[in-house]
Amino acid sequence: MAFHRVAAIGFAALFGRRSKVEATLPMLPFHLPVLATSGAITDTGVDGGMAALDYAVLAAYLALVLGIGIYFLLRQTRPDEFFVGDRKMGSVTVGISVVATDVGGGFSIGLGALGFLLGMSGSWLLFTGLIGAWLAAVLLIPRVKEIGHAKGWMTFPDFLAHRFDGRTRLMAAVVSGAGYAAFVGSQVVAGAALTHAAFGIDITTAVWVVAAVVLLYTAFGGLQAVIYTDTIQWIVLIAGLGLVAVPLAYSAVGGFSELREAVPAGHLSFTSISPITFLAWMATIVPIWFVANTLYQRIYATRDVKTAKRAWYFAGLLEWPVIALLAVSLGVFARALFPEMTSEQADLALPRLIVEILPVGITGLVIAVYFAAIMSTADSCLLASVGNLVNDIYEKYLRRGASPKEVLWVGRILALCLGFLSVLIALYAENVLSAIFLAYGFMAAGLFVPAIAGLLWKRATAAGAFWSMTVGGGLTILIHIIDLNPFEAYDLGTSEASILIALPVACAVMIGVSLLGEPPGMEEKAHMSQEQSSTGPRPKTGTDED
């Protein structure tokens, strides 16, 4: 999930709260090597330079996904094909793509860090993904899929515009688009960090190699290319973790008795996290299933409601227990095999495990596995950001009469431009990776309450949605600026605490503003009256009420 993701990035870099945020990073699911402003990666402690066979495996994989993008470039002629897969995708491919996008590089590598730090209890982080997926299948999909197909929706702001107004759509598009654009850069850097650690490639070169592949096949093929490459990448991920990495790491440890003796007490328990930590995870991750544009695109891409619901149920089961237990267990094995590593080095445990434990050839395959997870999030977030800008801003405000061909090529060009900008942000902005979690919280606090109210509460108004979005997201940023954390005694970082504060406030604003204002029907009539006062009276039709 991935958030997945904003002005918060700029605030984090601008105010430079580096030491405090980094101190909380080991508790976050996105803790990866952080780039300094010079673009130099932190020391991985792993010597690169692997065998030619490993390079060949990775190169073959990159060529495959790039070829898929070119294939769809030659076939596509309409924006629907590029942004929502021609609305004909099946449940298995969409379900796998949902998981590949949500779990992605941040979670798949970050879960290993949680396993290193917390043990098997870290797997509960993705249990929140299962809950979010199944709740969305029940509450969201039946309410947006059919009407979205009939009206040609392509993004999450399309739903908000239908339920509320254009002002709400515009704000949601800006927040969602900016967040995803920044998130792309961080995922590209995560892939470059892994490539650097394993192959010894210069970090700047690695960044641009990874970025080139992701940007090209996404710009070429759109959502169809993304979903089919995600399917391949997930198969590789499951096979690499379950059939190769986990068995070899377990063998290297020596067995269960040796593992139990080598790790701290409680590391093999599933009850080593506090309830408030789990609550913070729930409050941050579950809302993303209702506001992530990457997921709305996949809802619209399915054939029908039944197909979409099956995809979401399937995705939830893949997130937990499958990938959660596989990824966390690798972190536990790393803790047993490398006892000299400190908690500050938790994010480096998996690259070291891969390089030191796995044989030649297999190392290249598993590097490709993690690289696949990172790419699956980067490509989907890039496409979501482009979708927000093209569908919700370009077509609605800049070029209302744009032809389908023009929209298609504008989307491709924006994908390349946003990807280039995202890499620059990730290379040179301080604290960009810690800001990912801030972006997740910003989107959840700003967008979740309007989404749920729009689905379930008929009295919710456009004014309530707009101000709930503004106050919820703004409060999240403010909490980080002033470093407010009333939950510090419970070992929660500021990013986790902010969502526990901002979500209730956003909910209160939504209810208060909606109840104090005109009901939705009266609000719409008042808005129409204001338009008529500036343009003259509207001719009466037979459908008008007396």
374 phi and psi, to 5 degrees? -65, -45
Q: Specify the pTM.
A: 0.78
Angle between helix 203-238 and 166-199 (nearest 10): 100
Handedness of CA 35, 40, 43, 47 (dihedral sign): positive
Peptide bond preceding 287: is omega within 30 degrees of 0, i.e. cis?
A: no
Query: Which residues of the chain are modeled with pLDDT < 50?
Result: 1-47, 49, 429-433, 525-546
Q: Are 156 and 311 in contact (CB under 8 A)?
A: no
| Contacts (Cβ under 8 Å, ≥6 apart) of 217 | 65, 66, 68, 69, 70, 225, 229, 379
100, 376 in Cβ contact below 8 A? yes
Q: What per-residue confidence (pLDDT) applies to 268? A: 96
Question: CA–CA separation, 119 vs 474, rounded Å?
Answer: 35
Q: What is the pLDDT of residue 189?
A: 67
CA distance 331 to 310: 31
> Which regions of 130-217 does DSSP assign to beta strands (E)?
none
pLDDT at 10: 28
Question: Using CB atoms within 10 A of its CB, is residue 244 exposed (0-12), middle (13-18) or buried (19+)?
Answer: middle
CATH number at 7-530? 1.20.1730.10
The rounded distance, in Å, linking the Cα atoms of 421 and 143 is 35
Report helix angle 124-139 to 275-285, nearest 10: 40
Query: Cα–Cα distance between 510 and 164 in angstroms, integer?
Result: 13
3-state SS class at 53:
helix
pLDDT at position 504, please? 96
Q: How far apart are CA 440 and CA 292, in angstroms?
A: 10
Pull the structure tokens for residue 417: 């431009």
The SS3 of residue 248 is helix
DSSP per-residue letters across 295-355:
HHHHHHHBSSHHHHHHHHHHHHHIIIIIIHHHHHHHHHHHHHH-TT--GGGGGGHHHHHHH
**For position 531, what pLDDT does the model report?**
39
Residue/partner pairs of 520-525 with CB below 8 Å, 24 or more apart: 520/458, 520/459, 520/460, 520/461, 520/462, 523/461, 523/462, 523/463
Taking each helix axis from N to C terminus, what angle separates 305-317 and 141-151, rounded to the nearest 10 degrees? 130
Provide CB contacts within 8 A for 435, sequence distance 6+. Answer: 8, 9, 12, 13, 21, 182, 429
Distance CA 156, CA 162 (A): 10
Which two three-digit tokens encode residue 441? 């919280």
Q: What's the pLDDT at 184?
A: 73
> Would you say 281 and 125 are in contact if contact means Cβ atoms under 8 Å apart?
yes
Work out the end-to-end distance of the chain between its first and last CA atoms, rounded to an integer number of angstroms.
Answer: 50
Give the whole-angstrom CA distance, residue 252 versus residue 45: 20
